[in-house]
Amino acid sequence: MIALLLALLLQTAPPQTNIGVPGRIMQLVLPGTELEPLPLDVNSPIVLRVLATWPHGTELRYDLEYYGLEAGSFDLAKYLKHKDGTPVEGLPPIPVEVSSLLPEGQVQPNALEPTALPRLGGYQKTLIGLGIAWVLGLAAILLVGRRRSHVERDRVRPRTLAEELRPLVQAALEGRLARSDRARLELRLVEYWRRKLALQDKPAQEMIMQLRAHPEAGALLRSLEEWLHRPDPPQDVDLARLLAPYEKVDMAELESAARA
Amino acid sequence: MSQSALPVAKQTFADTEKFIRDVRERVATVVVGQDVVVERLLIALFSGGHLLLQGVPGLAKTLLVSVLSKSVDLDFARIQFTIDLLPSDILGSEVLDQRTNEFRVRKGPIFTNLLLADEINRAAPKVQGALLEAMQERKVTIGNETFRLPAPFLVIATQNPVEQAGTFELPEAQLDRFMLVHRLEYPSIEDEREILSRNAALGIQRQDRGAIVQTEFDVLEKRPVGSSEELVRAMEAVHHVHVSETFVEHVVDLVDRSRHHPAVELGCSPRAGISLIKASRARALMHGRHYAIPEDLFALAEDVMLHRMRLKYEAIAEGVTGRAVLQELLRSLGGSGAGA
């Protein structure tokens, strides 16, 4: 009964595919013992495959896959046989439609129609254009980046010792040295002597002790310490004499001393 | 900051100079060299900070603390830290008096003036925590009672930089409680020669019916060269040492730079700045000055700051050391850039 209803349904709307495109018929209940496709024949217009089989009461249920090699209407039941060799009888028709996309009689696919490329000037010119753009872009990145790094470097370049010392000494001589500048002045002078006496490699503690013991640097630094740190600084501090050696700091001389 | 009580303090300064000289001379009769360590001990004592000594065994750390306590007439206790030590072993505990059936407080060895915490990193963190809390608060709670620790109260802890197996490294937050961490070096060749000749001169001490070989501890002079009153005066004198605004600027600059160095993950806390100023005052006094100068800062920076700085992993992997970073910071002081 079910098979009959199914057959009626298939009759009303046979599945349709194009040549070479697989189609499937799933959960199809067919009477009799287990079925399998007929052996392939080179002239067969249909290639049929049984994907799966399940028992279904006294009958069997199948998933079938097929594709047509020719256009036309075919009955897949004609391409099945019983596995046990019994003759195929009482099978309902399993109609399928296979249609062709090409006109009737045409075997070769349609030739490609040449169309104009959407890009300007074709592939070769496009490549040339892209190459030029790449070179220009690279040049722009390199040049702009370098100029910016120059600017950045100039902006953050630490001031040299001489550049730091001169305004501090000048401000001290003119009596307008702020508290933080006093601290900077003292430590920059320590740095000045450190470089002048080539004590860069000494640990800080050893360096400052050597500086304080040095006949020239020690006297000047101790006087400065008294001026800056004593609670009762000496009133007769001659700042002009104290800071005279630093008024015209020669960086070249300092650096050559440091290198020596 | 800039207290200049010079007229009041003049006599105190003179007395203190003599006191310091006597103590140093007494220490030198037993301990050879180690002038810097003695200076650091006195700095800690005068400025009320605590000191951690890092050094391999056999550098006379215990002897040094022992002789210092005897020189200044201070109570001295030593605790050998071990893994099974309990907080109550240090602080004390309540014990049941069976005669009265009441709890009685038994104070621990922390109730002393000078406490030597030997190998502090061998104790469990809760013991370290208990000690460090007492160090900061200067009081101890046993049961329901709170007791003030004696004054002065100074902890000198030691830590062995090798043999780290089975130890609990003090975290930065706890290291910060130590005003100074001094790294002891081996003695110079001349000092080592002197140590050996002095040790060879030690004799045999008869005891009961036998005898023992004398050690440096046996020849310690028991009579103190300074009283606790003199110590208090020295502490007052330290408080009168002048700290100029310029010096404060140096300290602020240095501490701030430690927080912005590219190799440093954790810079110095404000407590480092406070400790630098306290320690610099004490050092100035010990060098016969009543005002601090950059030399004090440069001399103490390593002991005050190094244990408060944590380097970045990348810097450590590249072989950068805290000492090198600190030297760089000191060199850059006053400059416009970190490496100026």
Domain boundaries, chain A: 2-99, 161-259
Residue A255 — pLDDT band, cuts 50, 70, 90?
A: low
- Tell the residue number behind the tokens 């600027």, with chain if given: B249
Residue in A164, A194, A231 closest to B336 by CB: A164
| Whole-angstrom distance, CA of residue B26 vs CA of residue A41 | 119
**Structure confidence by residue, pLDDT tens digits, B200-221:** 777 777 777 777 777 767 666 6
| Whole-angstrom distance, CA of residue B15 vs CA of residue B101 | 52
- Please tell me if residue A8 touches chain B, with a CB cutoff of 8 Å: no
- pLDDT for res B340: 39
- Please tell me if residue A167 touches chain B, with a CB cutoff of 8 Å: no
**How close A186 gets to chain B, by Cα (Å)?**
8
> What are the tokens at A83?
């596995």
Question: Hey, is A26 helix, strand or coil?
Answer: strand
> What are the tokens at B164?
């780290």
Residue A246 — pLDDT band, cuts 50, 70, 90?
A: low
Domain that holds residue B234: 6-198+223-332
Number of inter-chain CB pairs under 8 A, A vs B: 87
Other Cβ atoms less than 10 A from the Cβ of B31: the count is 24
Q: Among residues 237-256 of chain A, which lie with CB inside 8 Å of chain B?
A: none
| Whole-angstrom distance, CA of residue B326 vs CA of residue A252 | 28
Residue in B246, B295, B331 closest to A212 by CB: B295
Q: What percent of chain A has pLDDT over 90?
A: 27
In-domain check, residue B161: yes
| Whole-angstrom distance, CA of residue B327 vs CA of residue A203 | 7
In-domain check, residue B41: yes
- Tell the residue number behind the tokens 């730079």, with chain if given: B257
In-domain check, residue B207: no
- pLDDT for res A213: 86
For the ranges A36-40, A174-178, B125-129, B250-254, the lowest mean pLDDT is seen at A174-178
- Please tell me if residue A164 touches chain B, with a CB cutoff of 8 Å: yes
| Whole-angstrom distance, CA of residue B69 vs CA of residue B71 | 5
Q: What percent of chain B has pLDDT over 90?
A: 14
In-domain check, residue B213: no
Q: What's the length of chain A?
A: 260
Among A115, A138, A101, residue whose Cα is nearest residue A17: A101
Kindly determine whether residue A204 and residue B247, on different chains, have CB atoms separated by under 8 Å: no
| Whole-angstrom distance, CA of residue A69 vs CA of residue B165 | 82
**Structure confidence by residue, pLDDT tens digits, A4-42:** 655 555 556 789 999 989 999 999 999 989 999 998 888
Amino acid, single-letter form, for residue B183: R
**How close B277 gets to chain A, by Cα (Å)?**
13
> Exposed (0-12), middle (13-18) or buried (19+): which is A89, by Cβ within 10 Å?
exposed
> What are the tokens at A228?
């800056």
Question: CB–CB of A68/A114 below 8 Å?
Answer: no
Q: Among residues 197-216 of chain A, which lie with CB inside 8 Å of chain B?
A: 200, 203-205, 207-209, 212
Region of B206 (left: φ > 0; alpha: ψ -120 to 50; beta: rest) is beta
Sign for the pseudo-dihedral over CA of B12, B17, B18, B24: positive
> Exposed (0-12), middle (13-18) or buried (19+): which is A226, by Cβ within 10 Å?
middle
- Tell the residue number behind the tokens 């495959």, with chain if given: A49
In-domain check, residue B108: yes
- Please tell me if residue A65 touches chain B, with a CB cutoff of 8 Å: no
Residue in A179, A207, A230 closest to B245 by CB: A179
**How close B298 gets to chain A, by Cα (Å)?**
5
The H or E element that residue B162 is part of is: none
| Whole-angstrom distance, CA of residue A104 vs CA of residue A110 | 13
DSSP conformation class of B121 = G
The H or E element that residue B207 is part of is: strand B204-207
For the ranges A47-51, A256-260, B90-94, the lowest mean pLDDT is seen at A256-260
Strand partners, B76: B114
- pLDDT for res A145: 76
- Tell the residue number behind the tokens 């060895």, with chain if given: B109
Kindly determine whether residue A204 and residue B330, on different chains, have CB atoms separated by under 8 Å: yes
Sign for the pseudo-dihedral over CA of B57, B59, B65, B71: positive
**Structure confidence by residue, pLDDT tens digits, B132-146:** 888 888 888 888 888
Kindly determine whether residue B244 and residue A229, on different chains, have CB atoms separated by under 8 Å: yes
Q: How far is CA A106 from CA A70, A71, A72, A85, A103, in A?
A: 12, 12, 15, 40, 6
Question: CB–CB of B90/B108 below 8 Å?
Answer: yes
| Whole-angstrom distance, CA of residue A191 vs CA of residue A45 | 100
In-domain check, residue B83: yes
> What are the tokens at A62?
């199948």
Of B339 and B191, which is predicted with more confidence? B191
B92-97 and B102-107: which strand pairing? antiparallel
Q: What's the length of chain B?
A: 340
- pLDDT for res A253: 60
Question: CB–CB of B41/B24 below 8 Å?
Answer: no
A2-99 folds as: Immunoglobulin-like (2.60.40)
**How close B333 gets to chain A, by Cα (Å)?**
6
ipTM score for this prediction: 0.76
Whichever domain contains B78, its CATH number is 3.40.50.300
Residue of A nearest to B292 (CA): A229
With a CB cutoff of 8 Å and minimum separation 6, the contacts of A150 are none
In-domain check, residue B215: no
> What are the tokens at B24?
């140093």
Question: CB–CB of A247/B263 below 8 Å?
Answer: no
| Whole-angstrom distance, CA of residue A246 vs CA of residue B271 | 36
In-domain check, residue B209: no
> Exposed (0-12), middle (13-18) or buried (19+): which is B237, by Cβ within 10 Å?
buried
> What are the tokens at B63?
């002897």
